[in-house]
């Protein structure tokens, strides 16, 4: 039995089925152009690839409450933990943000990232029209980035300004709660107006964090 097979056998199958169903349903609501069963197969493949990546990167056996351990390790001066925590904090993440994201199990964290990529791709696809010149692809990307937050490694983007660069995933839950609150209290149009005052939605998020509003 391979290392991957041993890990799969130790994992909770029902949790994987829950993730499969959750993300199949979520992605089915996006303008992907795929049939429901096609989406399910894509999600199954993503789960398998995430598990393989966990084995390669040595994160498969991290405990579910890893967030608290990570913060304590950073406070104790552990280099790898400090790199993760300091990077998130430098972008406005709090200990609670870090704990919340890193206390998801490894597969859940990876599937969060998978969904964000699928979401942005679907939003870009929804703006693409048949016969649209290829040189407008960049304009579509700009439009998507002005409308939705983009997550990733803030220090792995040489093409964006500091205000537009990706937000750390540690901020994702907090940003989504804020977006929901603004939409519920002020309406989606007001959120769009807020974002249009900035070069990107990420720039709006950073401004709101700086003001203490998020």
Handedness of CA 96, 99, 105, 109 (dihedral sign): positive
Domain assignment of residue 143, yes or no: no
Range of the domain at 200: 149-214
Domain assignment of residue 155, yes or no: yes
pLDDT in tens, 98-125: 999 999 999 999 999 999 999 999 998 8
Domain assignment of residue 88, yes or no: no
Query: Which of 19, 7, 10 lies closest to 111, judged by CA?
Result: 19
pLDDT at 132 over 80: no
Domain assignment of residue 115, yes or no: no
Domain assignment of residue 208, yes or no: yes
Domain assignment of residue 191, yes or no: yes
pLDDT at 22 over 90: yes
Is the Cβ–Cβ distance between 97 and 174 less than 8 Å?
Answer: yes
Count of domains forming the chain: 1
Domain assignment of residue 202, yes or no: yes
Domain assignment of residue 212, yes or no: yes
Reported as type and span, the H/E element at residue 117 is helix 106-127
For 26-158, list the strands marked E by DSSP. Answer: none
pLDDT in tens, 30-86: 999 999 999 999 999 999 999 999 999 999 888 878 999 999 999 999 999 999 999
Go through 8-37 and write b for each residue having 16 or more CB atoms within 10 A of its CB, e for each that does not: beebeeeebeebbeebbeebeebebeeeee
pLDDT in tens, 151-203: 999 987 665 678 999 999 999 999 999 999 999 999 999 999 999 999 999 99
Give residues with Cβ within 8 angstroms of 140, minimum separation 6.
124, 127, 128
């Amino acid at each position: 039995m391979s290392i991957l097979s041993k890990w799969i056998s130790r994992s909770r199958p029902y949790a994987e089925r829950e993730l499969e169903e959750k993300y199949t349903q979520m992605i089915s609501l996006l303008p992907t152009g795929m049939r429901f069963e096609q989406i399910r197969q894509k999600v199954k493949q993503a789960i398998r690839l995430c598990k393989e990546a966990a084995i390669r990167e040595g994160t498969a056996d991290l405990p579910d409450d890893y967030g608290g351990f990570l913060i304590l390790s950073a406070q104790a001066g552990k280099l790898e933990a400090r790199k993760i925590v300091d990077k998130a904090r430098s972008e406005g993440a709090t200990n609670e943000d870090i704990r919340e994201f890193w206390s998801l199990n490894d597969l859940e964290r990876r599937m969060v990232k998978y969904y964000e990529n699928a979401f942005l791709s679907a939003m870009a696809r929804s703006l693409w029209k048949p016969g649209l010149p290829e040189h407008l692809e960049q304009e579509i990307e700009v439009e998507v980035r002005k409308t939705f937050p983009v997550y990733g490694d803030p220090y792995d983007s040489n093409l964006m300004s500091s205000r537009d660069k990706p937000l750390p995933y540690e901020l994702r839950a907090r940003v989504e709660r804020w977006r929901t609150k603004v939409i519920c209290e002020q309406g989606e149009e007001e959120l769009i107006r807020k974002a249009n005052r900035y070069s990107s939605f990420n720039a709006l998020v950073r401004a709101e964090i700086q003001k203490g509003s998020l």
